[in-house]
Structure 1
């Protein structure tokens, strides 16, 4: 089940957001049900509905999308003889009008366990924790802006066995270059009243939202909401600027690998959407798919720029931590760069060839193995 593109005219960035959510959820649910847990809890802390298509019957909402994709996974696995699977949905919404629509939608669903919470997500965390069935919990945090109390949210996330996807509203952050009017909101978002000193210490070549994002990701790790935190940027295709960043937090390196796998697929659709809007009625000799793949190879996932970033991240990690086995190294590279595990292996071969790192391989092997020890020889100047 994927979002219907025609329901998102004029807000294509939301289409990409929902596409990423459903693609990741589908793969995560299959993996969870076939090994980690027979119970999958989905928590949507800012459920809405907000802006929706008049003809969509709320199909273009995160709660509708999550119900469809997770129910589809469950039914698919049950048809293959896997029994005892359970999904429960926990939706929270503070706006009374939106909550009334959400409640009506929930009443119309059959064969689905839905628990609703009225009010702010931060004020319902204790009740949600008590209501959640033991099992794997995926928490979707999608506020309309950036006024959230992340210290409370991180405490909730720390107690759950699962993952979270946080929608960081880049465009909203960039609207406030003067911090005085939003200092308290930033302190709550970053769970740190002293965030400004950390902000000033970051390179001034970074955009405002990039510096705030870096501090936010560090905060999630420091507060033990997740061990690994990675992000995927979603452009506004009609304005050609960063609209939001989807931030995944997990204690599992395999979740980060899945996140980047989803990143690669959804980024192609995002590029296709942008190109289609830009082209309008013009006819091209090449298909949108071909043009998107070409653009991604040069500017997106796995591009030369991302490979160079991966090289720098390898060197930085080895400088800070010393010789490291590949099994303990690769996830840190995927956290910071839009590359795959395979690309990291190729990167290490390149660094070895250039005399930057050294490692020994078993006979007949051409790439690093999980227990291959990577040692820094001569760090280059980092770009």
Structure 2
């Protein structure tokens, strides 16, 4: 149950807010909505084209959440209702983006345009824009960088609105937030030919008892942070605007740094524990980036967040070790998807009767 009487980091009372969450039905949005409903008195206007991941909150809202959360099904690219919802809100949180690397090559224009919302340029609103651009931007001929460049441009646009028109904003740069409900399992709750991000890709391989595919040897280094730790950081930003306004925060866990190969090995070990199934004799295979993602893919070798600012302004530090968050996530993946994957595989291999 949501608790009243909340105070910010400086001891001041936090007034209940009406928050417009754009992209509420996605991975991050679903966890944020749960957090807001469970621990705060804030009201949420949940905006998305689908609500599968928040259906338990909005279809219909349970009695104890009546009047606290409403779902608004609309496409932010072409629906004029969005501006009205933003004007109703004290705070707008934009989580909308295409953020699967496989789409950066094949849908570069959609990837770029998915990051822009004209209606959010309202100087009287404190806007939290979810962003993800910790990358060095690659060659123009490499379509993979369309996403990162769009994110950099929207950062500059929001910052300029703040400087010239008084827009109050906070920008968040997530460094690989992972956990339950991230992306999809191809052929189960996403397209059969879809390629989700690394956690769901490896989960899909494990569920199907297939070798995990390591792109270019899996030598790239990444950090991973548990979604619930990251949402704690977002809530601190929401309820401490005086400390967060005008800042760009990296949100990640430098202590959870591994190569993608090490991640695959760790996930294989953890999945064997939670599923009771022994790992394959050859649990990984190497594939080229061109084979896996197509022509034009490129990547950065290492991404480590500098946590100095968020620790100074909000006192936030991540808590969950990588192995623990993988165990929680893979337990969810196994319970949620194993039977559906098994059924799908049986249907795919069944031969029609003559």
TM more than 0.5: no
Structure with more contact order per residue of length (Cα contacts < 8 Å, sep ≥ 6): 2
> TM-score normalised by the shorter chain: which range applies?
0.3 to 0.5
TM-score by length of 2: 0.42
- The higher radius of gyration belongs to 1
- When you count helix as a share of all residues, which structure comes out higher? 1
